[in-house]
Amino acid sequence: MVDRRLNGDGMDGETPVEQPHTSRIYDYFLGGKDNYEADRQAAEEILRAWPDIRIAARVNRRFMHRSTRFLAEAGIRQFLDIGTGIPTEPNLHQIAQQVAPDARVVYVDNDPLVLAHARALMTGSEQGATTYIEGDVTDPDAILRDPELLGSLDLSRPVGLSMIALLHFVELSVDQIVKTFLDALAPGSHLVICTITADFAPEQVRAAQEVYRIRKLPALVRTRQEVTSWFTGLDLVAPGIVPPHRWHLMEAAAISPSFDAKVSCYCGVARKP
């Protein structure tokens, strides 16, 4: 059995499901069932290196919920989610359309299996729209000129661009990728990012990174300075670049600093002036 995908995840053309895939490994960490034996084996190896990565996955997901709600409440009515992953409720469009039923959402992923699940499981509100396209974050121009995207989103109006739990799998220049997307988006658009770092628990994260490498999956970690550079020229929303459990969470101040090492991620939300 094979599935097909584009090049951004380091697996070109037809790839047997015996080869683990990052989106299905992430689904396993979240407790999902849309994964194969190869994904589960790789995930268990990663868990031995980073036992708390399930916590990190859940914290990432909750950050997506809060950041999407924040954008919808700020008036954003169009969302572009790159690296959608296997659907896990509540999904981004559900959060956005709870606040604004007329919100329009375009999901992008480079794994046709992900898109098949998304189309089967994710339907939007009657007033809004939910669209799914195949695309790779390493080719932003192709995504931006996709006819289905252009038929769903008006790029002359603000868009919420979401790249959560994605960029640590990108080996090309993230700065250039982000710039290409933002140059095409209207003022008032927002950028939402969450990605892995080794700043808090370097040995643990590097060990997990090595498992990904052995499994022929790209996995790059970035410093706070590197993540901050992706937001150059944008107006960062307070509290800036922080671990995701410290972004707009009422009880953030009460969370022990040791929890930062369990999650080992940075996030940020910023507005294009």
How confident is the model over 89-106, as a mean pLDDT? 95
d(CA 247, CA 218): 27
pLDDT in tens, 205-227: 999 999 999 999 989 999 999 99
Q: How confident is the model at residue 75, as a pLDDT?
A: 98
pLDDT tier, 229 (very low <50, low <70, confident <90, very high otherwise): very high
pLDDT in tens, 147-202: 999 999 999 999 999 999 999 999 989 999 999 999 999 999 999 999 999 999 99
d(CA 110, CA 114): 8
Q: How do the residues of the chain divide into helix, strand and coil, expressed in percent and rounded to 5?
A: 40, 15, 40
Asked if 24 and 35 count as a contact pair (C-beta separation under 8 A), the reply is yes
Q: What are phi and psi of 101, to 5 degrees?
A: -55, -20
> Residue ranges per domain, the chain?
2-271
Indicate the SS3 state at residue 73: helix
Alpha-helical (H) ranges within 86-243 are 92-99, 112-121, 140-144, 147-152, 174-184, 202-214, 224-229
* Model confidence at 39: pLDDT above 70: yes
How confident is the model over 30-54, as a mean pLDDT? 95
Helix 22-29 × helix 112-121 angle, to 10°: 50
Instruction: Give the dihedral sign, CA 156/145/169/38.
Output: positive
Asked if 69 and 99 count as a contact pair (C-beta separation under 8 A), the reply is yes
Q: How confident is the model at residue 122, as a pLDDT?
A: 61
Indicate the SS3 state at residue 6: coil
How confident is the model over 131-139, as a mean pLDDT? 95
Q: How confident is the model at residue 2, as a pLDDT?
A: 35
Whole-model pTM: value is 0.91
pLDDT tier, 1 (very low <50, low <70, confident <90, very high otherwise): very low
pLDDT tier, 12 (very low <50, low <70, confident <90, very high otherwise): very low
pLDDT in tens, 171-181: 989 999 999 99
d(CA 217, CA 229): 25
* Model confidence at 8: pLDDT above 60: no
pLDDT tier, 3 (very low <50, low <70, confident <90, very high otherwise): very low
DSSP collapsed to 3 states, 20-59: CCHHHHHHHHCCCCCCCHHHHHHHHHHHHHCCCHHHHHHH
* Of 14, 24, 3, 22, nearest in space to 217 by CA: 22
The architecture of the domain spanning 2-271 is: 3-Layer(aba) Sandwich (3.40)
Q: How confident is the model at residue 126, as a pLDDT?
A: 66
